[in-house]
Amino acid sequence: MKVLIDRTRLCHYNGAAMPAKTRIHALLEKERTLIFPGVYDALGAKMVERAGFPLTFISGYSVAATQLGLPDFGYLTQTEMVATAKRVCASVSIPIIIDADTGYGNALNVIRTVNELIDAGAAGMFLEDQVWPKRCGHMKGKRVIPVEEHVQKIRAAVDARKGRDFFIVARTDARQVNGLEDAIARCRKYKEAGADALFIEAPGSVEELKALAKELPPPLVANMLEGGVTPLLTKDELEKLGLQLIVCPLTALYASAKAMQDMFALIKTKGTTRDHVDRLLPFQQFHDIIGLDEYYQLDEKYRTPDS
């Protein structure tokens, strides 16, 4: 049985009117529940699009790991994330939500971050209430800022978008710091401040997922992180609980890291991949993904007689 989203609740909550409908709102109206993988580069986004997903997500954890070789400990800067967003958003036609961490500072920094991400082509952002430097939501040692400080950051983000197509997800990490009750209370205030969707990071059980879905208005985010503290559930199971935006942020990162680890070990021990090419994408299939034939055609179109 599908969980139907109450459009009245979506459009107004405690008197706070929602902005003009974004691409993400349109997708939710069409599909009710969305599941989408996270990526960290343009190739991953192209593969998500080819797989038939209607949107994707750029994970800060993954960008820090792949571009810096560092953990998600607040090392990634705004300029690095915006540059990644610009490259990835330009590579596909599906909308992309960006992990903007804490907005990289106070409310004024949030305003700049929103404008930079919109200019980069992003369809939305996650904005969390951790103390900077932040860390992955499933790591120990997190701290959260006062609730009113994050309310102001949400208000700044809403004001900065100026009615443009940009979906704002308010995330709280208070569950592991102060408990679920405080996390829910924070989310109510973030909704009143104008957030489009709410995200309580790291609930520890199905019962907690049920509780937050009962207490908060949709759309709600479920973070399906392999090895994290939240149980891994299917799209259908989460939909029945009352969650609508299901992100799998690190699946691609962990899968690609495992594949590289295995293949590098194979080359080290065997000295060749000759007997294991079935474990790799074929040469031509990979070229299809990156559109090589189109560039052959462009090259032919603009070639000069003496070239």
Q: How confident is the model at residue 307 (pLDDT cuts 50, 70, 90)?
A: confident
Q: How confident is the model at residue 1 (pLDDT cuts 50, 70, 90)?
A: very low
Residue 203 lies in a domain: yes
Same-domain check for residues 117 and 80: yes
What's the number of domains the chain is made of? 2
pLDDT of 174: 96
Handedness of CA 22, 53, 91, 302 (dihedral sign): negative
Same-domain check for residues 188 and 240: yes
pLDDT of 5: 38
Same-domain check for residues 279 and 130: no
Average pLDDT estimate for 112-125:
98
Q: How confident is the model at residue 137 (pLDDT cuts 50, 70, 90)?
A: confident
**Domain around 18:** 7-256
Same-domain check for residues 21 and 153: yes
Same-domain check for residues 174 and 36: yes
* Per-residue pLDDT at 19 exceeds 60: no
Average pLDDT estimate for 139-168:
96
Same-domain check for residues 293 and 251: no
Residue 307 lies in a domain: no
* Per-residue pLDDT at 289 exceeds 90: yes
Residue 1 lies in a domain: no
Same-domain check for residues 234 and 274: no
Whole-number Å distance between alpha carbons of 9 and 264? 51
Residue 115 lies in a domain: yes
Average confidence score pLDDT of the chain: 93
Q: Tens digits of per-residue pLDDT, 216-269? A: 999 999 999 999 999 999 999 999 999 999 999 999 999 999 999 999 999 999
In this structure, are strands 12-13 and 16-17 parallel, antiparallel, or unpaired?
antiparallel
In this structure, are strands 167-172 and 124-128 parallel, antiparallel, or unpaired?
parallel
Residue 306 lies in a domain: no
pLDDT of 20: 53
pLDDT of 90: 98
Same-domain check for residues 155 and 280: no
Average pLDDT estimate for 268-287:
96
* Per-residue pLDDT at 170 exceeds 80: yes
- Identify the residue with better confidence: 183 or 17: 183
Q: Tens digits of per-residue pLDDT, 182-222? A: 999 999 999 999 999 999 999 999 999 999 999 999 999 99
Looking at the DSSP bridge assignments, the partners of residue 38 are 57
Same-domain check for residues 238 and 272: no
Average pLDDT estimate for 123-143:
92
Same-domain check for residues 187 and 208: yes
Residue 143 lies in a domain: yes
3-state helix, strand, coil split of the chain in percent (to 5) is 50, 15, 35
- Identify the residue with better confidence: 64 or 132: 64
Whole-number Å distance between alpha carbons of 216 and 244? 12
Residue 187: how many other CB atoms lie within 10 Å: 26
pTM of model > 0.85: yes
pLDDT of 8: 35
Same-domain check for residues 31 and 139: yes
Residue 224 lies in a domain: yes
CATH number at residue 30: 3.20.20.60
Q: Tens digits of per-residue pLDDT, 22-38? A: 999 999 999 999 999 99
Structure tokens at 179: 């408990």
Same-domain check for residues 126 and 178: yes
Residue 164 lies in a domain: yes
